[in-house]
Structure 1
């Protein structure tokens, strides 16, 4: 079917119309300022990896209480040139905040804030109930897995900070310890060592060395 003269004229008018012309795409606005991406809920004492982009030179990542001034931090670390940083959460249960800190006139200033809520810490232990003295003892310990947490074998009446055969679950949740040479009753412990609380026993398991 041949197009009519009226149809051809209409097509030509539309082609030359400014409304039909291809409009230039608006330029995409580039993001400005730093950005912080961090967990909002975390088990107390656990490690968290935080991602930061476009941070200024000499910036620091910190965890503080919401009402604390900029120079008060429970834990803080400089960012350097890395886009991600891991920090341990406070060992207490409560409300805190992530802060990206900069400097102004030589004093710290808060550039960004993000809420952080810590929940009750817990841990589990798995190991044989008996072991011959001096023999290898397979152990498994899972908890907050903070960078200073440890699974340790001590006497039952030892204080939380007592030392003994141990391993760090942040590196590996399973390990083999050497049983003590002295027979008797011992206790396998998961010890959380976190900011604000220090050493705190989260789990215990009785062990008899024969």
Structure 2
């Protein structure tokens, strides 16, 4: 074509032939999961494979992957249930060149928290679930709207994951949330608060002797039973300390000098002293 006049300067006939394609994927998949798709087709520029509701109009798409990525490729299924289709789509016209039905089934998840949850402290959550891309576990106020979150960790980190508790005691929920839709797949009610924490001594400690402590509390690895100087500040270094995870009763070496001291149960991750007991070393 001559641009100046629009005149055809040369011409040759060409016949366009039909093109075919195929897609192969599982007949069922879990809602929101990653699906592997094998395909054959022309691989024209920007052609793509997508997943849509069964019977959706031509040119419809949700998650898609260009055929230039090769075969097999992956798609993320919608967080929905029922009958869908995987389609090979020609980018140029939006025409579906091949299709395969697929049914999306419900996903399930479970959550477990063993230890008491101390305000501002860290706690572990064991979980099972689909582990879809960017799914996460969070802790929110009881009854918070869908999609709410505070501290969260992606499920891609594995199980267990570690969360930081809110500062305020009260009733909360640990949730497994599907990132794609913000839907809560599983919820576990929890209470944030140290519960009952107490300290008691056996006998009267002597200088250079042994202090035997009976205690009650969360008993986490992050927690310490400490001996500090009387009236020491909250962040004072301990004269003696042992991890609460050693169990009750536990023993500490008594200070070398007689005088007034204080026994403390301290949550080291938050720095909070959960219980204290003044005592004297003779």
- Unaligned 5+ runs, structure 1: 1-31
Say if 2:192 is the partner of 1:209.
Answer: yes
* Cα displacement string for residues 151-196 of structure 1 (whole angstroms, at most 9, x for unaligned residues): 11111121111121112224534311122222222110111233xx
State whether residues 65 and 74 of structure 2, in contact with CA within 8 Å, keep that contact through their aligned partners in structure 1. no
| Deviation of the 1:54 alpha carbon | 5.0
Q: Paired residues, what number?
A: 174
2:239 matched to which residue of 1? none
CA distance in 1, matches of 2:55, 2:142: 40
Of 33-42 and 106-115, more deviation after overlay is shown by: 33-42
CA distance in 2, matches of 1:160, 1:138: 22
Say if 2:161 is the partner of 1:175.
Answer: yes
Alignment of 1:12-161 (within 5 A): 34-57=21-44, 58-103=46-91, 106-128=92-114, 130-161=116-147
SS of the aligned residue for 2:132 comes to coil
- Unaligned 5+ runs, structure 2: 1-18, 194-282
1:21 matched to which residue of 2? none
TM-score under structure 2 length normalisation: 0.56
CA distance in 1, matches of 2:99, 2:156: 27
Of 134-143 and 94-103, more deviation after overlay is shown by: 134-143
Q: CA RMSD in A?
A: 2.2
Q: Which structure has the higher relative contact order (CA within 8 Å, separation 6+)?
A: 1
Of 180-189 and 164-173, more deviation after overlay is shown by: 164-173
**Kindly tell me: are residues 101 and 173 of structure 1, through their superposed partners in 2, closer, same or farther at Cα, counting changes over 3 Å?**
farther
1:13 matched to which residue of 2? none
TM-score under structure 1 length normalisation: 0.73
CA distance in 1, matches of 2:147, 2:94: 34
State whether residues 142 and 169 of structure 1, in contact with CA within 8 Å, keep that contact through their aligned partners in structure 2. no
SS of the aligned residue for 1:80 comes to helix
| Deviation of the 1:91 alpha carbon | 1.7
Q: Which structure: larger Rg?
A: 2
* Cα displacement string for residues 10-40 of structure 1 (whole angstroms, at most 9, x for unaligned residues): xxxxxxxxxxxxxxxxxxxxxx954433121
User: Of 161, 164, 185, which aligns to 2:150?
Assistant: 164
**Kindly tell me: are residues 191 and 101 of structure 1, through their superposed partners in 2, closer, same or farther at Cα, counting changes over 3 Å?**
same
